[in-house]
Structure 1
Amino acid sequence: MSDDVSELERLSSAELHERAVALARHRWDVRFFWRLLEMIPAAEAVAGNLDASDASVAQASGLVHEALSAEDDPDVQAALRPIYIDYLSRHGDEEQDRAPGGK
């Protein structure tokens, strides 16, 4: 595990989102995106967006867009930080391996 959790904690929520989503796209990691989709309603509630927290299956396409978009509500992204940090701490080596210059 090359990314120390404390190092990840210092990153902005936007940077964590960008790195985790890019890595999951690279890995074709549907489980990560599914987990993210499951957590968005709770993150919306934590961010005070109670109406948005009532997301239903009919809104799944909107949730996919939210999960993949780097322009989400910063409060929602802050609530999702633990998911990004957990994912990057477990798979961060793969992220570095695909970076220009690699290891």
Structure 2
Amino acid sequence: MVEDLETLSSKELHDRAVERAMRHVDVGFLWRLLKAIPAAEAASGHPDQAEADISHLSAMLNELVHSGESDVADALRPLYLDYLRRSDA
């Protein structure tokens, strides 16, 4: 990829990674993202939300959709960067 991914916002990285995974039906990445969200929320100061996500699949799916927002996206940034870099290799 010609563009430097580091210059993108966490929201942009989220959008690109999730869009690519959906387009390529990359269930493996989406599952890794779902598993990483509770830890990212806890690291972002939302431990109550992280606990709820572990208990409820529907909450996790909702968080997948919103995992590109605010401090949670920042905590997931390394996951998005790794996925997008591997996808372009």
Q: TM-score, normalised by structure 1?
A: 0.76
- Is residue 41–residue 49 contact of structure 2 (8 Å, CA) maintained in 1? yes
Hey, what does 1:77 align to over in structure 2?
73
Aligned residues: 88
In structure 2, do the counterparts of structure 1 residues 90 and 62 end up closer, same or farther at CA, with 3 Å as the change threshold? same
Could you say what secondary structure the match of 1:80 adopts? Answer: helix
Q: Which has the larger radius of gyration?
A: 1
In structure 2, do the counterparts of structure 1 residues 3 and 64 end up closer, same or farther at CA, with 3 Å as the change threshold? farther
Q: 2:38 aligns with which of 41, 44, 47?
A: 41
In structure 2, do the counterparts of structure 1 residues 3 and 30 end up closer, same or farther at CA, with 3 Å as the change threshold? farther
- Please provide the CA RMSD for this pair: 1.8
Any unmatched runs of 5+ in structure 2? none
Hey, what does 1:87 align to over in structure 2?
83
**Identical residues among aligned pairs (%):** 45
Find the aligned partners of 1:24 and 1:3 in 2 and give their Cα distance: 20
Find the aligned partners of 1:41 and 1:31 in 2 and give their Cα distance: 17
Letter in 2 for 1:50: P
- Is residue 47–residue 79 contact of structure 1 (8 Å, CA) maintained in 2? yes
Task: Give the CA deviation at 1:56.
Answer: 2.3
Q: Which has the higher contact order (CA 8 A, sep 6+)?
A: 1
Structure 1 consecutive aligned stretches of length 4 or more whose deviation exceeds 4 Å: none
Any unmatched runs of 5+ in structure 1? 94-103
Hey, what does 1:96 align to over in structure 2?
none
Q: TM-score, normalised by structure 2?
A: 0.87
